[in-house]
Each structure stands twice: as structure tokens, then as C-alpha cells.
Structure 1
């Protein structure tokens, strides 16, 4: 990562929906809290659900698993569709923004970008490497300014930008017929196998359960979904 810091975003749909609107995401799809990972609870979400965003604590168990997974990815890089948008994270504490970008920019067949900062970023970034995309975000003063303003509006007091943050956001979304875990802190995209529009919800929930199973004593997990806006 670089020496550039931002204030971390809060796992709060109201705050993040305002952020999406501010960077030019049309409000046909919005973020919603996910209150449980069982089928009866997931059934309450508006359809379609395009992506899951998971916030979890960066425990020793997670770090150990991440390091092993990175070694596996270096040895066996994931084969990804040409249209998958993945970017590295170099801007400290920007994992919430990166997870949102991964969720939105892999669903542009349904999500509309209006003229604004994100559309401008995407036009510059779409033909770049994951590393170049991460560096581009690091220098995007417009998006960073909006991020900072929105991060200060959460319900909890925003920590100093250079504070050590012990939580991390990732995105889970369907690209083609595969479920991908998109984490700007890893070596690349991680495939979790086949999925479909009908099974995406339960498949994504199953991946979230694996994160929880690695830290069974931890309760500090939260989940959001990008789904059709309420009518």
C-alpha cells in the first residue's frame, strides 16, 4: 500500500447510498442491510440482488488464511472473464470504496452510471491493469474528497485517517456464471465456483459463512446487499 490515507467508511447503507449517489450511481439499485444468512431471512431482500458486501474483523486467523490464499493465487492465478473489473487497493482505509466499486462496476449491465466521478474514473480505468486502477484511485481527488465528506457522516465517530483499522470490506458478485470474491488487498480475484441468478444469494451467503467459521468466537461481522431499490 501507499502512504496515502482516507477516513474509513462505516458499514451503514444510508451513508453508503449517499456516497453512491454523490459519485453518480443512479438510484435504481441501493444498499441494504442483510440481517441473517439463512434462506428465510435472505428472502426478505428486494430482487434482484447484484452483490454482497461483507465487513469482517482482521483477526490472526483471517491473516493466516489470506497469506496462504495469496500464495495459492501466485502459484495458480484465477482464470477470470475478460469483463471482470478488479482493482488493487493502495489507498489506506479505502476498502469500503473499493468493495463498492467492485460491486458496481461488475454490474453495469443493470446499474446505470450518470455523468459524475465514478463514470469518469471507469472510463479511464477500464482498460488498465488492476495495479494501475488502484494507483488511479489513489490520485483521484474528486472521489477522495467525496469519500472523506461521507465518511464523516456515519453514526459512529470517524477515526483519524491514519488510525489502524482492524476491519476490512470485500465484495462478492456474479460475473458470467461464476461467484467471485473481490478484495483489493489480495493478489487477485478469487473464484468460489459456479452460480446463477437463482442461486447467487445462497451461494454468496455460503461464502460469508466460511469467513465466520474461521473465527467462530467473533461476532463482529456485518453484511450488506446491493439490490433493487424499494418502490
Structure 2
């Protein structure tokens, strides 16, 4: 299965969240820079950061080394972390949003709707099984409704979309869970623990990791960062 790719566009993602039952006070906003002044403009609290970045050879080399290092040294992963594998092409934007919301379900009072029901359906499933739910979603299932919402919003973007066109950019999410900063990428075999953080320092800590992505491909300017915030505007 291959979907239409989502734009890195807060308006599109906010409509998506509304369609699946996220209260309107939770918004996706652009992050215009990673220095302290730019970060200070982000409405607080910030529940998650979403990074869109180019998939270069340098990136794939980094992923290989990172995987080997984690497998050699191990890492601590809190049992309460919610993770989903990506089994559907061009679904990375939706999966990054799912990771952002699912890992903050204790802070977000979800409305009755698609996303709340989906979380209930896959609460006891493994990351692999959650990914399979999307890739094999049957008509009428919550996963199918979520995919339908993705397709509807992808078509509303400003860029012409083609599900068969290879997309060379990828969305991932950063969240704080039980005092640790996690990178959640459905194409990786496991979450990446980037070390201690707090709800107060999360933005600065996530920005530090985003800077490392940018520095690895400093000649490429095609990076976009967004934040999931709680704000009345």
C-alpha cells in the first residue's frame, strides 16, 4: 500500500487532528529556528516535536552505525512508550503524528472518535502488529478511517501529490516519556533513547538532536520542524 504524502504544513495536520478526534486546543505549529530566541516563541506546553528531513547517504550511514551501537550497548526503553512500525509507503507524516499523540494520551483528553478508538484497539499490540493494522486495514475499521483521513488531507495540500513518486524526505517525532527523550521513527527497528529530559527542558533537548540531523547534511536546506502544543488560538 502506498499513500499520498502529507505536506509539512500545520494547517493540514491540524485539520487531520480535528478529523480524528483531537480537541481543538491542541495544535501543530511551525518552529522557525533552533536557537534560544526562536524556541522561546513556541507556545507552551510543547508535547512533541516533529522533524522532516532529507534521506541522504550520510543519514543512512548514521542509521547503520546507530543501530549497531544500540545493539551492542543496549538502551533503556520505558514500558509505557507507544511505538508503531511503518508498513505503508508515504505514511511517515501520519505515523509521526500518531507517535506524538499516542505518547501524550495521558495529557490529551481525546474526543470520542477515530483516534481514541484506534488506541483502544491496539493498546496490547506490538509495534509490528500496530503497523500491520494500517497496512491491512479493512473497510470500516478505525485504521481504515485514519488512512482515509490521511488521503483526504494529503489531497488538500499545496503540492501536487503522487503516491507512486519516490519521496526523499521523512517525518519523525520526538517526545518526552518518563524522564527520557525518545526519537520515534517507524522505519527503524526500535525507538532511540537520546537521554534524560524533563517536560521543562524537552524543547531545548529535542532541538539539540534536531541540530545534529541538520549538521550531518549541512549543505541541504530542506529541513522543517513543527511542534505539537496546547494553546488557545
Q: What's the TM-score bracket when you normalise by the shorter of the two chains?
A: over 0.9
Residues 136 and 76 (structure 1), Cα distance of their counterparts in 2 relative to 1, 3 Å cut: farther
1:144 equivalent in structure 2? 147
Q: Which residue of 1 aligns with 2:22?
A: 25
Conserved 8 A contact 1:174-1:196: yes
Counterpart of 1:191 in 2: which secondary structure?
strand
* Partner-residue secondary structure (3-state), 1:7: coil
| Equivalent of residue 80 in structure 1, options 77, 82, 90 | 77
1:89 equivalent to 2:91? Answer no
Could you tell me which runs of 5 or more consecutive residues in structure 1 were left unpaired when the two chains were aligned.
none
After TM superposition, the runs of 4+ consecutive aligned structure 1 residues lying more than 4 A away are none
Q: What is residue 204 of structure 1 aligned with on the other side? A: 206
- The TM-score with structure 2 as length reference comes to 0.94
Aligned to 1:161: 163
Deviation at 1:71, TM superposition (A): 2.9
Q: How does 1:1-231 map to 2 (within 5 A)?
A: 4-138=1-135, 139=137, 140-158=143-161, 160-231=162-233
Q: Is the 8 A contact 1:13 1:33 kept in 2?
A: yes
Q: What's the Cα RMSD here?
A: 1.2
Q: Cα distance, 1:68 vs. partner?
A: 2.1
* TM-score, normalised by the number of residues in structure 1: 0.95
Q: Distance in 1 between matches of 2:228 and 2:205?
A: 15
Q: For this pair of structures, how many residues does the alignment match? A: 227
Identify the range of structure 1 (149-158 vs 171-180) with the bigger mean alpha-carbon deviation.
149-158
